Amino acid sequence: MKKQVINIKQGHRADVGEYKIYRVLPDHEVRAVGPFVFLDYVPPVFHAADEPRKFVNGSGAHPHRGIATLTYVLNGEADHFDSNGHHAKVYSGGAQWMKAGTGIIHDEAMNPDPNTNDGLTHGFQFWVNLPAKNKAEQPDYRPVQAAEMPKIALADNAGWLKVVAGEYLQQTSPIPAYSEQFIYHIQLEAGKSFSLNALEGREYALFLPVSGAVINDVAYREQQLLVFDTAAGEIDIQNVTDSLLTAIVFGGAPYTEPIVAQGPFVMNTQKEIATAYNDFYEGKYGHIKYEQQAQ
């Protein structure tokens, strides 16, 4: 039996500085899918060879608390600094994972990948809502390069499935998890199809970043987010185009604790939100030491 689509969403523009961004989650109807309470999509942008690189210099620094951020880079180089002393770069196909925990300040920049020379930047940022007990833990960070993520070849030379987060067919992503979660990057060859078996009681969503597809026998456009029911069933993806198809499937177990979100903080009560702001203004999240961490 094929799963039912219960919501269809289109991201809205929510640009940040120089970056063109579409906010896919949340909205007034869909607050979360599994533990994911936020999704920004950065569409593909081509950068000329003589375009100046973006440097992390403090102008984009901002705090988080109560969540883990997961920046998945389809194309480009993501440069990360945070107030816990971390600095790293990940490249096309890799991800930056940062647990904000009790509070952290981070700063990021995206540039074309010097290893591919394709001039592109393209990617996503997810916010993973932490269980209450993990919101009280110290911040952490992990860069994950593309080669560290499991990539599973699909039958009939249809393409591949990359396990960005969670697991699939006993292949597990190195991205830490505090509740059941998954992000699958599926690439299908022209004219091919793939059927994903969805488990009972889990929340699933599918996003089509750059081209439309036929999902469970219905045609959908690019940049549409499909939210499915929680019954067990199949998610059938058909590539009816003459080029590669990218689909992002994500979700997990429902988040059962209260969700109170305000600005860059996601907590369980309004009092915890107030504390998060007070601690930030009192400097308890620390400071980024750019020159020292860049060495």
Cβ neighbors of 133 (< 8 A, separation 6 or more) are none
Mean pLDDT over 39-53 rounds to: 93
Q: Among 285, 291, 266, which Cα is nearest to 37's?
A: 266
59 pLDDT more than 90: no
Taking phi over 0 as left and psi of -120 to 50 as alpha, with beta for the rest, 195 belongs to: beta
First vs last C-alpha separation in the chain: 55
Q: Supply the pTM of this predicted model.
A: 0.96
Q: How confident is the model at residue 255 (pLDDT cuts 50, 70, 90)?
A: very high
Q: Enumerate the domain spans of the chain.
A: 5-48+64-283
Q: How confident is the model at residue 117 (pLDDT cuts 50, 70, 90)?
A: confident
CA atoms within 13 A on the CB side of 292: 8
Backbone CA torsion sign across 268, 271, 272, 277:
positive
Q: pLDDT digit string (tens) for 158-202?
A: 999 999 999 999 999 999 999 999 999 999 999 999 999 999 999
Mean pLDDT over 89-96 rounds to: 98
Q: How confident is the model at residue 49 (pLDDT cuts 50, 70, 90)?
A: confident
Mean pLDDT over 211-235 rounds to: 97
Predicted local distance difference test score (pLDDT) of residue 58: 80
Q: Which CATH superfamily is domain 5-48+64-283 in?
A: Jelly Rolls (2.60.120.10)
Q: How confident is the model at residue 48 (pLDDT cuts 50, 70, 90)?
A: very high
Separation in Å, CA 105 to CA 41, 50, 102, 228, 245: 21, 31, 11, 34, 36
295 pLDDT more than 70: no
